[in-house]
Amino acid sequence: MKCRTLFMMLIFLLSCAALLRLAFTNEHVAATDSNGNKFRHLPIQWCAVAGSPTAVTPGTVDPDNPGADTNTVLWRRHERVSDRIYLAQPASDATNDIVPVTFRSAADQQTFPFLPNRSFPIITGPNANGDVDISNTQAVQALVQACQQAWGSSAPGIPVINVNHLSNAGSSLGGQGY
């Protein structure tokens, strides 16, 4: 249950960050489906913190993809959010200014040349086990900067960082990273 809670909290945070980014920038790609309905692609710059289960034992953290590698685990996370939440919403409705959002890897935007080994970066975090305490704003900012640096300054999208345990001033915000 804790894993599911953490997953849902991270989805919510990702959603808020992404929608704010869409509202204030043009860092998205407009598209249409086969029926002509409009939607927006929002590129995600995935990074995993070293020591997190996704970085260390990726084949054990995704029940939909047992045995998967880190790239597959992270890639499927934004696909599940898009498929199960955002694209499941009603079709676009220009009259009411409704345009569904779909999260996609920034690598979809042909930025894999920015990633030297064609893999999502694994970055060093404040703890060897991949845990992050968000009350340590300097450590959080360092993670964001490390992720952005790994992707390069020309890569589109917003950084999204996979961690092990997430806490705030020592209080757990969920279970082990999923």
Mean pLDDT (the chain) is: 75
d(CA 168, CA 178): 18
Residue 50: what are its φ and ψ, rounded to 5°?
-55, 135
The predicted model gives 123-129 an average pLDDT of 93
Q: How confident is the model at residue 116 (pLDDT cuts 50, 70, 90)?
A: low
Phi-psi region of 163 (alpha: psi -120 to 50; beta: other; left: phi over 0): beta
Share of the chain above pLDDT 90, in %: 29
Query: Angle formed by the axes of helices 70-81 and 2-24, to 10°?
Result: 70
Hey, where are the domains in the chain?
2-172
Q: Is 4 helix (H, G, I), strand (E, B) or coil?
A: helix
Which stretch of DSSP H or E encloses residue 79? helix 70-81
- Record the pTM: 0.72
Report CA dihedral (139, 19, 63, 51) to the nearest 10 degrees: -10
Using the predicted structure, report yes or no on whether residue 94 has a pLDDT greater than 70: no
Comparing C-alpha atoms, which of 154, 157, 174 is closest to residue 166?
174
Residue 79: what are its φ and ψ, rounded to 5°?
-65, -45
Distances (CA, A) of 5 to 45, 59, 68, 91: 23, 20, 22, 28
d(CA 76, CA 65): 9
